[in-house]
C-alpha cells in the first residue's frame, strides 16, 4: 500500500521484536542530550557532541536517538538503549521505530503495536502499518471489510478518526494529508475534510503551506494554504517542503529558492535541491559541498565531498569516505574517523526535516 510519507518510517525503523521491560527510564522531556549515530567497520554505535563514544560500536543496525532512546539491533532483534549506553528495553522485537510523544511502534510477527518508554505495551498488536505520533495522533492501517484502510488513534490506542482513508499521513500544523480514491486532500484533527481531495500528491504543512502536485504523475507542483487556496501557483516540475520559510523549486534542469510568498530568495540556481536548518543550507559547488546563508552567501567554503543539515549546531560532512561533524562556523568538532553511511544520513535528514524538531 502506497504511503504518503512512508520514507519517514522506512528510514527510522529497523528490520528486526519486544518483551515487556519494567526498567524505568530517568530522562524527561527537555533533558535529553544530543547523541550522534556513528558507524565503523559495518557496526553502529553512538557518540556525544564532543566525539566521545557513549556506546561501543557493536550494533547490527541502529536508529537516531529520540526522546532519550534509540532502537538498536542485536542478534537480529530490536530493543532500545538509553543515552548512557544501557539497554533500557531488551531486544525482542522484529522491528522498532523511533519514540515520539512517549510512544514507539514495534513489530511482533506481522502486526504493529505501540509501547511506552518503559517497554510496556499500550495497544494490541493489530496494525499493518503505523506512523509516529505527532500532535497527539498517529496514522495506522487496519484490515476492514472492504480492504486496507487508514485512520488515526489517540494515546490510548483507540480510534479518534475512523479508518476510512486509502492513505493517511502524519499531522503537521493541525492538518494531515489523506487519500480518498486516487486524490489527496486534508483533514483537521476532528477528521473533518478541510481541503477536498483534488491533488495527485500532498505533503505536510510547513510554515503554513503544503506542497501539492496536480494533473497526475507527470503534473506540476505548487503550494496551498490551509484554506485550500493555491498560494503559490502550480508551475514547478518539483519542489521540497518549506523549512525555515524557504523551499527549493525546480524549473527546467535547475533549482531555485523561494520564500512563502513565492519570491526568489537569491538569483543563484542549483543543480540539486537543498534544505535550510539553523539558517544554513548545504550547497554543492565544483563538486564540493559548503554551506550558504539565506542571503546566498557561502559562509562555509565548499571543501567537503558531501554534507547534510545542521541540527543543534552540528552537521555531518564527508571527507574522503569518512564522516565528521562541523559547527556553524565550519570548525571540525568531531574528526572524520567514522564511516560515511548514506542510510544513516538519509535517516537523519528525513527525521529532522519532517517530524523531529
Give percent of the chain above pLDDT 90: 88
Q: No. of H helices and E strands in the chain?
A: 2, 31
Q: pLDDT tens, 295-345? A: 999 999 999 999 999 999 999 999 999 999 999 999 999 999 999 999 899
Which has the closest alpha carbon to 282: 263, 303, 254, 312? 303
- The CB density around residue 86, as the number of other CB atoms within 10 Å, is 11
Q: Which comes out higher in pLDDT, residue 286 or 2?
A: 286
Q: How far apart are CA 147 and CA 141, in angstroms?
A: 10
Among candidates 216, 219, 230, 275, which has minimal Cα distance to 249?
A: 275
Q: Determine the pLDDT at residue 263.
A: 97
Angle at 43 between CA 42 and CA 49, to 5 degrees: 120
Q: Give the residues across from 254 on adjacent strands.
A: 251
Q: Cα–Cα distances in Å, from 21 out to 71, 79, 118, 346?
A: 14, 10, 6, 30
Radius of gyration of the chain (CA): 21
| 156/158 Cα distance (integer angstroms) | 6
The conformation of residue 134, written as its DSSP 8-state character, comes to: B
Which residues make beta-bridge pairs with 211? Answer: 223
Residue 6: strand, helix, or coil: helix
Distance between CA atoms of 340 and 323, rounded to whole angstroms?
Answer: 5
- Position 31 confidence tier, pLDDT thresholds 50, 70, 90: confident
Task: Tell me what pLDDT residue 7 has.
Answer: 30
Q: Please compute the mean of the pLDDT values over residues 103-126 and round it to a whole number.
A: 97
Which pLDDT score is estimated for 30? Answer: 52
Beta bridge partners of 251: 254
pLDDT(197) > 70: yes
Total-model pTM = 0.88
Indicate the range of 22-31, 147-156, 191-200 predicted with least confidence. Answer: 22-31
Q: How many CB atoms lie within 10 A of CB 348?
A: 22
Look-up of cell digits 544530543? 34
Instruction: Return the exposure string of 243-279: e unless at least 16 CB atoms fall within 10 Å of the residue's CB, then b.
Output: bbbbbbbbeeeebbbbebeeeebbeeebeebbbbbee
In sign, the C-alpha dihedral spanning 179, 181, 184, 188 is negative
Give the CA count within 13 Å in the CB-facing half-sphere of 229.
5
Residues 6+ apart with CB under 8 A from 305: 288, 289, 318, 319, 320
Amino acid at each position: 500500500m502506497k504511503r504518503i510519507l512512508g520514507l519517514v518510517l522506512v528510514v527510522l525503523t529497523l528490520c528486526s521484536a519486544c518483551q515487556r521491560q519494567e526498567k524505568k527510564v530517568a530522562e524527561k522531556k527537555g533533558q535529553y542530550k544530543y547523541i550522534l549515530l556513528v558507524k565503523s567497520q559495518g557496526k553502529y554505535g553512538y557518540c556525544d557532541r564532543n566525539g566521545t563514544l557513549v556506546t561501543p560500536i557493536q550494533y547490527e543496525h541502529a536508529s537516531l536517538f529520540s526522546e532519550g532512546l534509540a532502537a538498536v539491533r542485536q542478534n537480529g532483534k530490536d530493543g532500545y538503549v538509553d543515552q548512557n549506553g544501557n539497554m533500557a528495553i531488551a531486544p525482542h522485537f522484529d522491528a522498532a521505530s523511533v519514540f515520539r510523544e512517549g510512544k514507539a511502534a514495534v513489530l511482533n510477527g506481522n502486526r504493529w503495536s505501540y509501547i511506552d518508554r518503559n517497554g510496556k505495551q499500550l495497544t494490541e498488536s493489530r496494525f499493518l502499518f503505523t506512523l509516529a505520533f505527532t500532535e497527539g495522533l498517529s496514522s495506522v492501517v487496519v484490515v476492514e471489510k472492504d480492504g486496507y484502510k487508514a485512520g488515526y488513534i489517540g494515546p490510548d490506542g483507540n480510534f479518534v478518526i475512523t479508518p476510512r482513508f486509502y492513505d493517511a499521513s502524519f499531522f503537521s500544523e493541525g492538518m494531515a494529508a489523506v487519500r480518498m480514491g486516487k486524490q489527496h486532500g486534508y483533514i483537521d484533527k476532528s477528521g473533518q475534510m478541510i481541503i477536498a481531495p483534488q491533488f495527485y500528491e500532498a505533503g505536510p504543512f510547513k510554515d503554513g503551506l503544503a506542497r501539492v502536485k496536480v494533473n497526475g504523475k507527470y503534473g506540476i507542483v505548487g503550494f496551498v494554504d490551509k484554506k485550500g487556496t493555491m498560494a503559490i501557483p502550480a508551475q514547478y516540475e518539483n519542489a521540497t517542503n518549506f523549512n525555515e520559510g524557504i523551499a527549493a523549486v525546480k524549473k527546467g534542469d535547475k533549482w531555485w529558492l523561494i520564500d512563502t510568498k513565492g519570491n526568489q530568495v537569491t538569483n543563484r540556481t542549483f543543480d540539486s535541491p537543498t534544505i535550510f536548518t539553523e539558517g544554513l543550507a548545504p550547497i554543492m559547488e565544483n563538486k564540493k559541498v559548503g554551506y550558504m546563508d539565506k542571503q546566498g552567501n557561502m559562509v562555509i567554503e565548499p571543501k567537503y565531498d558531501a554534507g547534510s543539515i545542521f541540527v543543534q549546531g552540528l552537521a555531518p560532512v564527508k571527507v574522503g569516505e569518512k564522516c565528521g561533524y562541523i559547527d556553524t562556523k565550519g570548525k571540525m568538532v568531531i574528526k572524520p574517523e567514522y564511516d560515511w553511511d548514506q542510510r544513516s544520513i538519509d535517516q537523519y535528514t528525513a527525521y529532522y526535516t519532517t517530524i523531529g524538531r
